[in-house]
Every structure is written in structure tokens, then in C-alpha cells.
Structure 1
Amino acid sequence: MFWLLLLLAYLLGSLSFAVLLSRLFGTRDPRHDGSGNPGASNMLRLAGRKLALLTLAGDLSKSLIPVLIAHQLGLAPLQQAWVGLAAVVGHLYPLYFHFRGGKGVATAAGLLLGLYPPAALLGLALWAGVFARLRIASLASLVAVLGILPLFAWQRPGLLAPMLLLALLILIRHRHNLRALRQGTERHF
């Protein structure tokens, strides 16, 4: 059952709500305009608040749902974490969109919300604090993802391996943002 759920989580994670919503509502494809990222931040820039919120909800739910299903099936928390991570990998490297996906932050938030809500709340608080102060979504996202790791190390050390892999994958997907931050050219809201 675990392996089947991993596969289904990856396939669900491969749905790109930004791309699907842009097609449905006839807006610009977020992979080709704005930052080129099919995520909620770029949808906000390109299509407005409504589609950005729908994208955020879709991206969050595609990892939350498989984690909750894994929990209901009685899988161990570590297995639940791997199932959620499979959905995040699907978001980052989607089968349906030539493996060109988003940055994974909203999908990671859904994983955290289903797996360990205090980590999701800490991540949200870190994201909101950094974003309110600096108005840079990528930096807020990176601080949030890295900021939850000490909580896992302290409270849930058995889940640290998938969380470290999650952080590494998100750092890799943000490599261009990191370069832009170093150069002082990163986009602000």
C-alpha cells in the first residue's frame, strides 16, 4: 500500500494548478511569463489575487491529501512524510508538464500541515515575518523552509531525513533566486 500511495502522491503532485487555472481562465501561462514559475506568487503577478489563492490552495492540497490518506491508512509518520515528499517531488518535476514544475513551497506547506501542524505554523510565521519586512517571496520561502528544520530535529528527529531532503530540493529549485539575492536583483512585491 505504501508504494502505491507514493506513486499516487507523485501523480497528484504533478498537477500544476497554476498552468491548469491559467488555461481555464485564459490568462498568460506562468511558465512563460513573469518569473517563469508556475506557482502562487507568479500567478499573483500575472492573473491577480483570485487565481493566486486558487493556485495556493491547489498546491497545498496536493500534498496534504496524500498525507492525510496515509495517516488514515495507519501508515507510520515516517511513511507519511515520504508520501508527502513524493507529492512535492511531483510538483517540482511534474510528469504531465515535461518535468518543469514550481518551487514547491506551497506543496511543502501542505505536507507540513498534514504531518506536523506546529511546523506548518512556524513556517507560516517565518514566511510572513520575512515577507512583511522585506517583500521578497523567495527569501521568505527559504527562511521558512530552513527555519522549520531545528523544530524537527528537536521535536520529531525520526522525520528529519525526509525534511532535510525537502529543504535541499527547495534550495535547489531556488538556486536562481539565491543568485539574484546575492546580486541584489531579486524581485520584490
Structure 2
Amino acid sequence: MYELLLVCAYLLGSFSFAIALSRYYGNSDPRAQGSGNPGATNMLRVAGKRLAILTLLGDLSKGLLPILIAQALDYSPQQQAWVGLAAVIGHLYPIYFNFRGGKGVATTAGMLLGLYPPAALLALAVWLLTFSLTRISSLAALSSVPLCLPLLAWQQPQALLPVSVLSVLLVWRHRNNLKNLLAGNEPNFRE
């Protein structure tokens, strides 16, 4: 049953709310506009607040729902974390879209919310603070998850390995953003 849940979490994670919402509302594919990322931040750029919020909520739920199912099935915190990681991997490398997915920030937030809500709140606080100071979404994302690791290690040590793997994946998916940040070329949301 556990292996089936891992597969289902990956398949759920592979569903792209950004692409589905763009198609439903007659917008262009978000992978062909803005940053090319099918996530909430790019949806804000190319489709407006409403679709960005819907994308954010959908992507967040992809990380949260598998964790809640794993909890209902009484899996250990480590098993729950691996299930959540499967959902995030689905978002990063979706089978339905030729393995070309988003960066996994909202799906990760949903996963953290299910695993240990204080870690999700810490990640949100760090994201909001970093974004309000810099107006750079990628920097906010890169700052938020790694800072949750000590809190998780203290409160949910079993989840530390899968969440550490997740952190490495998020940094990898943001590698171009890191290059742009270092070069001073990363887009921001300054008014």
C-alpha cells in the first residue's frame, strides 16, 4: 500500500495547475511566457492575481494531500516525508508534461504544512520577509526551506533525510536563478 501511495503522490504532483488553469481560461501556456516556469509566481506575471492564487492553492494542496493520506494510514513521519517528496518530484518532473515542471516551492510548502505546521509557518515568514526586502521570489524561496531544517531536525528528526533531499532538489531547480542572483540579473517585482 505504501508504494502505491508513493506512485499516487508522484502522479498528483505531476498535475500542473498553472497549465490546466491557463488552458481552461484560454491563456497561453505559462512555460512559453515570462520565466517559463509553470508556478504561481510566473502565473502572477503572465495571467494575473486570480490565476496565480488558484495556482498557488492547487500546488500547495498537491504537497499537503498526500501527507494527510499518509497520516490517516498511520505511516511514520519519515514515510510521510518520502510521500511528500514524491509529490514534489512530480511537480518538478511531471510525467504528463515531458518532465518539464515547476520549481516546487508551493508544493513543498504544502508538504511542510502537513509534516510539521510550525516549519511551514517559519518557511512562510522567511519567504515573506525576504521577498518584502528584496522583491525577488527566487531568493525568498531559496532562503525559506533550508532554514526550516534545524526546526524539523529538532521536532521531526525522522523527516530530516527526505526534507534534506528536497532542499537539494529545490536548489538544483533554482540553479539558473542562483546564477542570475550572483550576476545581479534576477528579475524582481519592484514597483
TM-score (norm 1): 0.99
State the alpha-carbon separation in 2 of the partners of residues 169 and 185 from structure 1: 22
In the TM superposition, residue 154 of structure 1 has moved relative to its aligned partner by 2.2
Contact 2:77 2:156 in 1 (8 A): no
State the alpha-carbon separation in 2 of the partners of residues 33 and 88 from structure 1: 23
State the alpha-carbon separation in 2 of the partners of residues 136 and 62 from structure 1: 24
Letter aligned with residue 188 of structure 1? N
Match of 1:169 in 2: 169
Alignment of 1:150-165 (within 5 A): 150-165=150-165
In the TM superposition, residue 63 of structure 1 has moved relative to its aligned partner by 1.4
In the TM superposition, residue 155 of structure 1 has moved relative to its aligned partner by 2.2
Match of 1:38 in 2: 38
State the alpha-carbon separation in 1 of the partners of residues 63 and 168 from structure 2: 17
Deviations 1:136-176 (A, max 9, x none): 00000000011111112222222110010000000000000
In the TM superposition, residue 62 of structure 1 has moved relative to its aligned partner by 0.9
* Identity within the alignment, %: 63
Do residues 144 (structure 1) and 164 (structure 2) align?
Answer: no
Q: In structure 1, the residue corresponding to 2:74 is in which secondary structure?
A: coil
In the TM superposition, residue 178 of structure 1 has moved relative to its aligned partner by 0.1
Match of 1:23 in 2: 23
Do residues 184 (structure 1) and 184 (structure 2) align?
Answer: yes
State the alpha-carbon separation in 2 of the partners of residues 157 and 151 from structure 1: 9
Deviations 1:82-135 (A, max 9, x none): 101100000000000000000000000000001110100000000000000110
Letter aligned with residue 2 of structure 2? F
State the alpha-carbon separation in 2 of the partners of residues 24 and 155 from structure 1: 42
State the alpha-carbon separation in 2 of the partners of residues 54 and 60 from structure 1: 10
Alignment of 1:1-189 (within 5 A): 1-189=1-189
Count of aligned positions: 189
State the alpha-carbon separation in 2 of the partners of residues 12 and 176 from structure 1: 26
State the alpha-carbon separation in 1 of the partners of residues 80 and 145 from structure 2: 18
Gaps of 5+ in 2: none
State the alpha-carbon separation in 1 of the partners of residues 27 and 48 from structure 2: 10
Deviations 1:23-57 (A, max 9, x none): 11111211011000000000000000000000000
Gaps of 5+ in 1: none
State the alpha-carbon separation in 2 of the partners of residues 28 and 34 from structure 1: 11
TM-score (norm 2): 0.98
